[in-house]
Amino acid sequence: MHPDSPSSRLPAPGRRAVLGAAAAASALAALPGTASAAPATRKTPVRRKPRALPGGGDLGPNVLVFDPATPNIQGRLDEIFRQQESAQFGTGRYQLLFKPGSYHGLNAQIGFYTSISGLGLSPDDTTINGDITVDAGWFNGNATQNFWRSAENLAVVPVNGTNRWAVSQAAPFRRMHIRGNLNLAPTGYGWSSGGYIADSRIDGQVQPYSQQQWYTRDSAIGGWLNGVWNMVFSGVEGAPAQGFPNPPYTTLATTPVSREKPFLYLSGSEYRVFLPEKRTNARGVTWGNGTPRGTSLPLSRFYVAKPGVSAATLNQALAEGLHLLLTPGIYHLDQPVRVDRASTVVLGLGYATLIPDNGVTALKVADVDGVRLAGFLVDAGPVNSATLLEIGPSGAWRDHSANPTTVQDVFVRIGGAGPGKATTSMVVNSRHTIVDHTWVWRADHGDGVGWETNRADYGVVVNGHDVLATGLFVEHFNKYDVQWFGERGRTIFYQNEKAYDAPNQAAIQNGSIKGYAAYRVGDGVTTHEGWGLGSYCYYNVDPGIVQHHGFAAPNRPGVRFHDLLVVSLGGNGQYERVINDTGSPTSGTSTVPSTVVSYP
């Protein structure tokens, strides 16, 4: 977020009271036996198995399903937007679903924790003749806090030829077809700090204007207007040519490995979840030539979870072989959700939010093939968790190259909605994992924020080999934001801000080094590569703090970086170097990046 946004921000409502969650206890039946010729005997109590959980079912009250004949769609959209427009740390969660067909005269304004999606197999099955709008009127034209909202699987014919999607972090734009231009800035241009596009076609021009950084993957665009600091493209037809640092474009012809996010759709009157297939050296959209490639599952194969359900029940469903569909709302957990079966899908709607209440890990994945985690938020609880999300156990070693685990639009937050703590937010131990768009955020504003109040030392730790991150946003951790110890790791696009609230230089001193790197590759790693990585500092408590470098890595030929930048926002803190001891220092109060085009 740009420092010109107020440091105190808007007051946030307190966290909702804990939702009730009770698991049905197994009944015990003591069955005494008697006989006329023998003394009475007592049988051992029999523990009955829990009743099998049903698959499928309704999607709950916070999933709104529209068809072209639904009356007053605009009125319902407006009602939800009024509630969610400024509810940055509120408890409301909504999923808006549009059945295939054409809709006319709509302007769907999308606020916090609101997802809008089409229910066709292709975006072109569901056409909005109108707009899907994100603007920043609630924050005086500043879009740097337009988080936690999404648009997926729709075609849009904008009223005036241009659709506005002025977002920052955690606001994915997936499988969209814009039959016109796409403006990524707020009215009046203001500030904006996004963002992410994947598997989308924009027939006209993408217009970032004030966007500080952006990542676009496996898409097709009619043109790209400008860049501020860091614009990254992989597998994008029509992308601008490589130009970093001026213009600040990092362009890869293809994405090494990708597999699109699972999505809900209608087959006749039946809900199903589509599972796109893996692509290598991908370029362009998956849906351009009719039916996308992949498989699908009926909703009956999913446990449709509602807020208030216990972790024990979620684990029972998983143990019974069901996948999980998390409907919108807040889920309090007193034990980890354990994904132990290969190819399990955990799909959230409307920013379903998992909160570990007693210091547990929210979700753990076994060392198995093909798990798909998508579309939910993990919010740290008030008792410190050692980790919040674990992909594979410590020591995971199996080869998952044929069917990797994917983590997509899974966001992690520590503080902001109330005090939260976690030593490490996300740990990736499984080989070949694809982390495709995440924002892992130690809050810099909201409720329960302070250097120790929402303490979180480490953002993302990667121990597994052959892990790929496409669209990695990690911000504000007390120590290292990203540490990468696995071999052959790759990151395409990284956005980072160091913690604003460090009280003084001593608080971030890392042995003899001034500050902890935003992205550190372990000393023993021999092969690693990154493209389009940026780190910013804004030390607003002590603007005199000096950060030695944004990036740290072993200096060997197999560890390579392309297009790195560091920037001091308004002179609030400075970097001495970009990576290791290489690169120019940031200078004075001018918010001008220092760059390194190639390292070593």
d(CA 90, CA 328): 13
- For 418-487, the DSSP string reads S---EEEEEEE-STT-EEEEEEEEE-SSSBS-STTTT---EEEEE-STT-EEEEEEEE--SS-SEEE-ST
pLDDT given at position 50: 67
What is the SS3 assignment for 78? helix
Q: In what order do the strands lie in the sheet with 196-198?
A: 63-66, 94-98, 114-118, 149-152, 173-174, 196-198, 213-217, 230-234, 249-252
Return the half-sphere exposure (C-beta side, CA atoms, 13 A cut-off) of residue 527.
8
Residue 117 has pLDDT above 70, yes or no: yes
pLDDT range class, residue 28, cuts 50, 70, 90: very low
> Model confidence over 78-91: pLDDT tens digits?
999 999 999 999 99
Lowest-confidence pick of 16-20, 50-54, 95-99, 461-465: 16-20
Mean pLDDT of all residues in 250-274? 98
Mean pLDDT of all residues in 260-285? 98
Characterise 515 by phi-psi region: left (phi > 0), alpha (psi -120 to 50), beta (else).
left
pLDDT given at position 20: 27
**Strand pairing category for 559-568 and 546-547:** unpaired
Q: In whole angstroms, how far apart are CA 562 and each of 245, 399, 458, 530, 597?
A: 11, 28, 24, 6, 5
Residue 441 has pLDDT above 60, yes or no: yes
Residues 6+ apart with CB under 8 A from 207: 162, 181, 182, 183, 184, 185, 225, 226
The single-letter DSSP state of residue 318 is: H
Task: Give the active site residue among 85, 152, 260, 497.
Answer: 497
Residue 168 has pLDDT above 70, yes or no: yes
pTM of the model: 0.92
Torsion of CA 95, 97, 103, 107, to 10 degrees: 10
Tokens of 437: 């768009």
Residue 561 has pLDDT above 50, yes or no: yes
Residue 481 has pLDDT above 60, yes or no: yes
Torsion of CA 396, 474, 481, 415, to 10 degrees: -100
Active site residue 79: no
Tally the residues of the chain: 600
Mean pLDDT of all residues in 208-223? 98
pLDDT range class, residue 47, cuts 50, 70, 90: low
Distance of CA 96 to the CA centre of its chain: 19
Mean pLDDT of all residues in 436-460? 98
pLDDT greater at residue 354 or residue 21: 354
Residue 196 has pLDDT above 70, yes or no: yes
pLDDT given at position 291: 77
> Model confidence over 509-520: pLDDT tens digits?
999 999 999 999
d(CA 327, CA 302): 11
> Model confidence over 349-405: pLDDT tens digits?
999 999 999 999 999 999 999 999 999 999 999 999 999 999 999 999 999 999 999
d(CA 234, CA 583): 25
d(CA 230, CA 211): 9
Q: What is the mean pLDDT of the chain?
A: 92
Tokens of 378: 């993990």
What is the SS3 assignment for 39? strand
pLDDT greater at residue 437 or residue 35: 437
pLDDT range class, residue 48, cuts 50, 70, 90: low
pLDDT given at position 371: 98
Residue 34 has pLDDT above 70, yes or no: no
> Model confidence over 415-425: pLDDT tens digits?
999 999 999 99
